[in-house]
Structure 1
Amino acid sequence: PLRVRARPAAQKDGTDLVACAGEIIGLAGLAGHGQTDLLLAIFSGASRARASIEVTAPVALVAGDRQSDGIFPQWSIAENIGIRSLARLRSGLLISPQREAELAAFWQKKIGIRTPDMNNNIFSLSGGNQQKALFARALGSDAQIVLMDDPMRGVDIGTKLEVYDLVREEAARGRTFLWYT
């Protein structure tokens, strides 16, 4: 069973954050009080053992600061979406352009990324559509746990509502979301 368990290192009172399959857990608080650090600890705990972190499924992180931590600025929209899915996109030793285009087209339609061409540079998109591309990257991967670090910062209300619906839909399918906002 999918499970995330985390206890901040400085916390000694025995309280854990536990998230199970299909749950959406919100992390709240004033900026700079450890929420981002907790998400990053869980993200790194998925790839290496940490005493206070237990993660039982693949993890994806949707960064709140897409400009510095999320997008690959020299790449196309399709490449930015496909980077977490390289194993599925390969044909032999190389990435299959057809598979990459199919993955990007699927998520463009599902999430509503507004662009005439997914081969355009990611900077051709509005901020909200750039954030949708980052969601597509996370959801298009095999990650069953999605960590979201203030992903709605600077995003218009229409995009927020679309993302909220998508998160609820994916949680109903068993994905777990830890969301700091």
Structure 2
Amino acid sequence: MLTKNIGLILGVLVLIILVSGCVSGNAAKLIVVNNTYSGNGVSFKIPSNWQVTKVVSESNINIDINKNNPKDGTSITVAISPNPKGMSKQDLINMIQNPTNQDGNKEILNNTTTVDGNTAYENTYIVNDSNRFNQTMKEQQINFIKNGNIYALIFDAPVQSFDQEISNFNITLNSFKLL
């Protein structure tokens, strides 16, 4: 009888851990209250009816926010990564202000902005995404450094619909706060 109870208790604990999203390396649906995500030292609003998933990999956290039709690629990603060891703050600023161009992406904007009172570096690209969505995408990356972390807000949409999504992207960008 005791063995059955221990097995039942362990089974319930495993189920609770899986449902809560506490397993590293896995994606989990998150509960968003009043269209606001709060966790991992950040808080921000999300557009109504968009799907939120958190992926934890080693020490990196990605909070993915996808429009109802994820096949078109319209999404917001909030990434939190610890500063790489051995890199000075100025080296990190240089890296995020002037990233190396990968995969032939065409940079169309390199600017400085402010997020939650922090100087942030904005880079916008035209991306030929033939692998995932088989279309040309526009991607805006806004990065800043604070409290030993690099924070990245990444906004993606097909080129032809990116401008129509800016109001949705701004919901997250303008409400982003460090806790």
TM-score by length of 2: 0.28
Which structure shows the higher strand fraction?
A: 2
User: Based on CA coordinates, which of the two structures has the bigger radius of gyration?
Assistant: 2
Which structure shows the higher helix fraction?
A: 1
